[in-house]
């Protein structure tokens, strides 16, 4: 009898878990208002997002993912490593150089984020649980719109509402594509208004910086992130981590980065739900 009871409990637990794993994907959602899209053919064709979410779960966290590609390329794909994890994932396509110059692609990242804040609760998510992430140029975009508050202020959103910033090998100095647009050499470091480092502030959301091996990373990507982490600590930011993946280069670091991202999302989600008494 005892064994049968245990078996029945296990079956019910499995069935409940399976019931939770119902996901819906909506592709090619325009994140700019129709009026703006109609006025700009490139925005109309390029500024779309893919939205993957658990359809029968409430108060789920959402990861906004910006693809890499040096701000000149890349593909808008939902990272398979983030699927089936009881979270929503939003992958964002944005305008690219040389068709546009800074700050157009940063503005697109902000507009996509604003779409999530404005719509996530309609799907059962919680706007207190929106995380920013992305790889390389995507990590840079996530950092810029989280640290420089003006981009989201345009949409009456306080960047401090972001639950966590967790970029993969994002550029902390001014992005090399923007330096190119300014006529600055690729290896000439610059920190100006287009550098996340320029916008270091104590009251930013929790930050986890993930990079590849410092000896294998692209240019000085680890050191940039280490400098950003140090400056955040110096201004007494209460929650910043720097994680280095030994043995992984700039491209390869993404795969082992996803479990780290999920771990941080779960830990921060648990903390926020406890603080706000969310179920």
- Check residues 146 and 3 and name the one with the higher pLDDT: 146
Whether residue 17 has pLDDT greater than 60: no
Q: Is residue 50 scored above 90 in pLDDT?
A: yes
* pLDDT given at position 234: 98
Which of 19-23, 45-49, 117-121, 206-210 shows the lowest mean pLDDT across its residues? 19-23
Instruction: Report whether pLDDT(97) > 90.
Output: yes
Residue length, the chain?
279
pLDDT > 90 in the chain, percent: 89
Q: What is the DSSP secondary structure assignment for residue 69, as one 8-state letter? A: S
- Note whether residue 214 is domain-resident: yes
Residue 277's pLDDT band (cuts 50, 70, 90): confident
Q: Which of 18, 75, 29, 19 is nearest to 52 (CA)?
A: 29
* pLDDT at res. 252: 98
- The closest alpha carbon to 176, from 79, 72, 51, belongs to 72
Q: Does the structure show a pLDDT above 60 at 16?
A: no
Distance CA 196, CA 207 (A): 12
| Residue 5 within a domain | no
Is residue 2 pLDDT above 50, yes or no? no
CATH number of residue 241's parent domain: 3.40.50.1820
Strand partners, 210: 168, 243
pLDDT at 248: 98
Q: Is the pLDDT of residue 224 over 60?
A: yes
The pLDDT value given to residue 13: 40
Distance, in Å, from the CA atom of 93 to the CA atom of 196, rounded to the nearest integer, reads: 21
Could you give the 3-state DSSP secondary structure of residue 166?
Answer: strand
Does residue 143 have a pLDDT over 90? Answer: yes
- The pLDDT value recorded for residue 21 is 63
Average pLDDT over all residues of the chain: 93
Orientation angle between helical segments 104-119 and 137-147, nearest 10 degrees:
70
Average pLDDT over residues 76-105: 97
- Residue 132 located in a structural domain: yes
**Is 68 domain-assigned?**
yes
- Secondary structure element (H or E) that encloses residue 243, with its range: strand 240-245
Q: What is the pLDDT of residue 278?
A: 77
Judged against a pLDDT cut of 80, whether residue 9 lies above it is answered with no
pLDDT at 195 over 80: yes
Residue 1: inside a domain, yes or no?
no
| pLDDT computed for residue 12 by the predictor | 42
- Where does the pLDDT of residue 186 fall: very low under 50, low under 70, confident under 90, or very high at 90 and above? confident
Residues near 158 by Cβ (< 8 Å), separated by ≥ 6?
149, 152
Domain that holds residue 151: 24-276
pLDDT (mean) for 252-269 = 98
End-to-end CA distance of the chain: 34
- By CB neighbour count within 10 A (0-12 exposed, 13-18 middle, 19+ buried), where does 227 fall? middle
Q: Are strands 60-66 and 125-135 parallel, antiparallel or unpaired?
A: parallel
Query: Helix (H, G, I), strand (E, B), or coil: what is residue 167?
Result: strand
What are the phi and psi torsion angles at 26 (to 5°)?
-120, 125
User: How far apart are the C-alpha atoms of 54 and 49, rounded to whole Å?
Assistant: 17
CA-closest candidate to residue 100, choices 177, 183, 154, 171: 177
> What residues does 29 pair with on adjacent strands?
49
| pLDDT average, residue stretch 172-177 | 98
pLDDT over 60 at 132, yes or no: yes
Q: How many domains does the chain have?
A: 1
Residue 12 falls inside a structural domain: no
Q: What is the pLDDT of residue 276?
A: 84
């Amino acid at each position: 009898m005892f064994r049968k009871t245990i078996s029945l409990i296990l079956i019910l637990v499995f069935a409940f878990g399976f019931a939770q794993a119902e996901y819906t994907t909506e592709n090619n959602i325009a994140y700019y208002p129709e009026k703006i899209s109609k006025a700009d053919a490139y925005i109309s064709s390029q500024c779309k997002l893919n939205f993957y979410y658990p359809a029968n779960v409430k108060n789920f966290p959402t990861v906004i993912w910006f693809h890499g590609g040096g701000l000149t390329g890349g593909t808008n794909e939902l990272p398979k490593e983030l699927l089936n994890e009881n979270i929503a994932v939003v992958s964002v396509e944005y305008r690219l150089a040389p068709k546009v110059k800074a700050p157009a692609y940063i503005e697109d990242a902000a507009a996509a984020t604003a779409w999530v804040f404005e719509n996530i609760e309609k799907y059962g998510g919680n706007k207190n649980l929106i995380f920013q992430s992305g790889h390389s140029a995507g990590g840079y975009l996530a950092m810029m719109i989280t640290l420089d508050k003006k981009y989201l202020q345009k949409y009456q959103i306080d960047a401090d509402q972001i639950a966590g910033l967790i970029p993969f090998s994002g550029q902390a100095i001014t992005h090399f594509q923007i330096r190119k647009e300014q006529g600055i050499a690729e290896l000439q470091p610059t920190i100006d208004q287009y550098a996340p480092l320029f916008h270091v502030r104590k009251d930013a959301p929790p930050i986890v910086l993930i990079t590849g091996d410092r000896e294998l990373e692209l240019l000085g990507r680890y050191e940039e992130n280490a400098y950003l982490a140090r400056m955040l600590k110096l201004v007494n930011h209460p929650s910043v981590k720097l994680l280095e993946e030994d043995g992984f280069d700039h491209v390869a670091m993404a795969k082992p980065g996803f479990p780290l991202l999920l771990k941080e999302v779960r830990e921060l989600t648990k903390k926020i739900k406890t603080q706000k008494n969310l179920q």
